[in-house]
Amino acid sequence: MTNYNSLFNRHFASSERLKNRAKQRVPKFSYEYLIEGCMDDIGLCRNRQAFDSVKFTPQYIRPNSTPSLKCELFGKLYSAPFGIAPIGLQGLMWPNAPVILARASYEHKIPFILSTVSSESLERISEVSQGTAWYQLYNPTDPAILSDLLSRLTSAQYQHLVITIDVPTFGLRPRDFHNGLAMPPKLNVKNIWQAILRPNWSLSTLRYGLPKFKNLEPYIDTDNKKLELTEFMNTTTMGPLDFDSVKRIRDLWPHKLIIKGIMSESDLQKAIKLGADGVILSNHGARQLDLGEATLPLLGKFSSYQDRISLAIDSGIRSGVDIASACGLGAKFCFLGRFFMYSVCALGNEGANHAIYLLKAQMMQVMQQVGANTLKDLCGKVELSITPRPL
């Protein structure tokens, strides 16, 4: 049995510690891009309130055993029921982050989802993940770009396409406005000063170069190269997502199709009708609709659909205990965004392995407490009852 407790860095054994370390190592403009939600950050609190409201029932009088974290999804066996959510501009938060995470995902047999607006190209990520990475699509405004992206994905042997549906408008994020976030970052006095205060980040950025939208670079017109982020997203990646447009993508894509951003029963029913293989119940880490619902309670509401479509979940997951909670409440799989980025920002190259080992150690610990040998055994040992607390 692998003892995960001896494999992670013991100084950073929680999300909060990783986040604090990340803050010390990353310039303010990119750290704030990572942590923020949308508008007043109420959704961020709701996501956490839901996970903090879970109660487990322990079971101690039973035979000794070693839990298994293994999980099958879309015909593939993963070492644990969690993966790395797509994060745009990863290289702005930590240089080379997509490569660090994609490589670790392959080595640890967990999925890594590459964002359309990543700072690394889908070709390079396929190479470092040995063809196991998934690709997240923002439907491009120009159908010719969609067609080219799909053929690049096929050539690079991608097997999983994740369509994100929850960005009909780009989230309004006060800190990004204040910081004038742009890609590549604006080299004004304020940003340069923030970078000087974070020498590890700056040296690493000098080594890997300023981050760019490598997947979209071939399609960005040269006059548009330094748009503010909101403007860039609005002009490039806001293609239609009505039923027929998604159906067209489904018809063009012969492999696994996953729809990310499902928060309502009607969208879930449409995903099934469209022939999606799975959905990710996600509120984009509370970055889009500040007064939306948390994702965890949706597992109970949508339990009757579990036999028809794979239900994965993200938003607010910060530990292996949260993953065990979600699995116990009916999630087939979990994705984490910020947690992995906190770890890479805090620990650089080591950060991806650290995050995976820590999540596994936390899962094992809680499963041993409640007497769950498999992920299925978690069902019935977890209860969710949310009492709203003052924000």
119 is a contact residue toward ligand FMN (CB under 6 A): no
Instruction: With contacts defined by CB under 6 A, name the span among 197-205, 217-225, 241-249, 281-289 that binds ligand FMN.
Output: 281-289
Catalytic residues: 284
338, 344, 350, 353 alpha-carbon torsion, rounded to 10°? 20
Pairing of strands 76-78, 71-73: antiparallel
Closer residue to ligand FMN, CB minimum distance, 87 or 110: 87
Identified binder of ligand FMN from the candidate list 132, 204, 215, 282, rule CB under 6 A: 282
Are the C-beta atoms of residues 138 and 239 closer than 8 Å to each other? yes
114 is a contact residue toward ligand FMN (CB under 6 A): no
Identified binder of ligand FMN from the candidate list 114, 117, 326, 359, rule CB under 6 A: 117
Q: Which two tokens stand for residue 299?
A: 């597992």
Which residues, including other chains, have CB under 8 Å from residue 83's CB and lie 6 or more apart?
Answer: 105, 110, 111, 112, 113, 134, 333, 334, 335, 336
Closer residue to ligand FMN, CB minimum distance, 256 or 284: 284
Which residues, including other chains, have CB under 8 Å from residue 5's CB and lie 6 or more apart?
Answer: 361
317 is a contact residue toward ligand FMN (CB under 6 A): yes
The minimum distance between CB 331 and ligand FMN, in angstroms, equals: 13
Alpha carbon distance 120, 215 (integer Å) = 7
The minimum distance between CB 282 and ligand FMN, in angstroms, equals: 5
Alpha carbon distance 78, 112 (integer Å) = 12
The minimum distance between CB 2 and ligand FMN, in angstroms, equals: 25
Residues 121-180 that bind ligand FMN (CB under 6 A): 136, 164
The minimum distance between CB 139 and ligand FMN, in angstroms, equals: 11
Helix or strand or coil: residue 160?
Answer: strand
Binding site for ligand FMN (CB under 6 A): 33-34, 85-88, 115, 117, 136, 164, 260, 282, 284-285, 287, 314-317, 336-339
